[in-house]
C-alpha cells in the first residue's frame, strides 16, 4: 500500500511539473537569447535548466516563484559558461595577443596602449568590469582573433550590430581603464 501511495504521489508531482514548469522552457530560452546567448547555447543552457528543475521537482512544485528560480539557474549557467570562455582566452592565447602585427593594426586607444605595455592584468580587470554584452565580442575579436563576420555568426547578431557593439565596448573599456587610473 505504501508503494502505491508513493507511486500516486510521484504521478501527481509529474503532472504538476508538466503543467507548470515545462511551459516555462520557452521563456527561459528567450531570456537567454536576451542575455546574449546564441541559439545553440541558449538551447543547451535551457536543457540544463530543465534538468535541474526535474532533479529539484519536489521542492520546485511547492514554491510560487518557479519562473524566477529557473531564470536564476539559467543565468548562473550562462555566467559559468562566460567564465570558462574568459579563462580559455586568457590562458591559451597569451602569445597571440602580444603579436606585434596584430597590435600594429589596432587604433590608438586604451586597448592598444595596454597591449603594447603588456599590462594584461589591468586589461583583464577592466574587461571584467565591462558589461558582458561588450566584453564577449571584444574578447572574441582581439583575443580570439575572430573577424567581425565570425563574431556576428557566433553571437547570432547582424554584422553591423557586431561592429557597433565592439566600437561602443572599446569606448566604454577606455572609460573604465581611465577611471581605474584615478
Residues in contact with 83: Cβ distance below 8 Å, sequence separation at least 6, in sequence order: none
Cα 84 to the chain's mean position, in Å? 10
Distance CA 70, CA 87 (A): 26
Distance CA 23, CA 12 (A): 17
For 42, the grid coordinates are 541558449
* Burial status of residue 143 (CB atoms within 10 A of its CB: 0-12, 13-18, 19 or more): buried
pTM: 0.45
For 97, the grid coordinates are 595577443
* Burial status of residue 168 (CB atoms within 10 A of its CB: 0-12, 13-18, 19 or more): middle
End-to-end alpha-carbon separation of the chain, Å? Answer: 72
Q: For the chain, 182 residues long, give each residue's pLDDT as a single digit of tens.
A: 555 555 667 788 788 778 888 888 888 898 888 877 788 888 999 889 888 888 888 777 777 788 888 888 899 888 888 887 766 554 444 444 544 444 444 444 555 555 555 566 777 788 888 888 998 898 888 877 888 888 888 888 899 999 999 999 999 988 887 887 77
Cell 521542492, located at residue: 59
Distance CA 26, CA 19 (A): 14
Amino acid at each position: 500500500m505504501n508503494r502505491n501511495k508513493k507511486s500516486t504521489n510521484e504521478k501527481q508531482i509529474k503532472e504538476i511539473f508538466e503543467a507548470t514548469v515545462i511551459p516555462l522552457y520557452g521563456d527561459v530560452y528567450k531570456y537567454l537569447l536576451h542575455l546574449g546567448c546564441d541559439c545553440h547555447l541558449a538551447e543547451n543552457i535551457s536543457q540544463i535548466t530543465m534538468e535541474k528543475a526535474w532533479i529539484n521537482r519536489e521542492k520546485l512544485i511547492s514554491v510560487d516563484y518557479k519562473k524566477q528560480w529557473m531564470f536564476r539557474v539559467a543565468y548562473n549557467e550562462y555566467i559559468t559558461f562566460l567564465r570558462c570562455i574568459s579563462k580559455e582566452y586568457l590562458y591559451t592565447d597569451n602569445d597571440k595577443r602580444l603579436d606585434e602585427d596584430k597590435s600594429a593594426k589596432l587604433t590608438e586607444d586604451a586597448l592598444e596602449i595596454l597591449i603594447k605595455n603588456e599590462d594584461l592584468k589591468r586589461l583583464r580587470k577592466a574587461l571584467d568590469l565591462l558589461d558582458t554584452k561588450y566584453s564577449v565580442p571584444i574578447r572574441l575579436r582581439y583575443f580570439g582573433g575572430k573577424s567581425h563576420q565570425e563574431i556576428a555568426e557566433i553571437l547570432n547578431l547582424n554584422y553591423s550590430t557586431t561592429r557597433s557593439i565592439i566600437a561602443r565596448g572599446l569606448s566604454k573599456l577606455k572609460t573604465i581603464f581611465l577611471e581605474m587610473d584615478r
